[in-house]
Amino acid sequence: MAWGISNFENDSAQEWVEDLIAKGKSTTVNKEIEGFVKNFKASETDMMTCCTFLAAAEIIAAVKDDPADDIPEDLEDWIKENRLKNDEAMVKKAIEGLNKITRGSELQEMYEGSQLYDDWMDIQKDLLTRLKRG
């Protein structure tokens, strides 16, 4: 089992990225972002769903040429091969979903009760900055 504070250091994100690379289409990322934002409920959306969304949001940032330092190399290759394009509507939805997670979610609550909270929040603030840039 993998678990760390980065948006790629957990089983949910890793499995989703592996599936995306193996058989996903570029629309899979948009569907993940849109579905999360539409269906998010702080009291019902589980940690795994939040982790998967954060991986998708990281892809949106990478498409804007501002990837996370630890983005998997095979995912960067997949993004290039599939010629994903910057989509401002998806950027806005990624920001909206990220705000939902950091302002009250099962994942946020799990980190809030740990010594890793500040580091995890720094990673999410960095993602937010990368999404908002340029």
Domain for residue 62, yes or no? yes
Domain for residue 21, yes or no? yes
Domain for residue 5, yes or no? no
Domain for residue 4, yes or no? no
> Phi and psi (nearest 5°) for 55?
-65, -40
Contact 57, 131 (CB under 8 A): yes
Closest by CA to 7, choosing from 50, 37, 38, 65, is 50
Query: How does residue 76 score in pLDDT terms, banded at 50, 70 and 90?
Result: very high
Contact 33, 60 (CB under 8 A): yes
Contact 39, 93 (CB under 8 A): no
Taking 70 as the threshold, does the pLDDT of residue 33 lie above it?
A: yes
Task: Report, as an integer, the average pLDDT of 108-128.
Answer: 95
**Rounded CA separation 93/57 (Å):** 9
- Please give the pLDDT value at position 3: 73
Query: How does residue 26 score in pLDDT terms, banded at 50, 70 and 90?
Result: confident
Domain for residue 1, yes or no? no
Segments forming the whole domain that contains residue 15:
11-132
Domain for residue 110, yes or no? yes
pTM of the model: 0.95
Would you state the torsion angle of the CA atoms of residues 39, 44, 46, 50, taken in this order, to the nearest 10 degrees? 40
Q: Structure tokens of 43?
A: 């009291």
Q: Tokens 């091969």, residue?
A: 81
Task: Report, as an integer, the average pLDDT of 33-59.
Answer: 97
Domain for residue 105, yes or no? yes
Domain for residue 86, yes or no? yes
Q: If residue 11 lies in a helix (H) or strand (E), which one and from where to where?
A: helix 11-23
| Count of domains forming the chain | 1
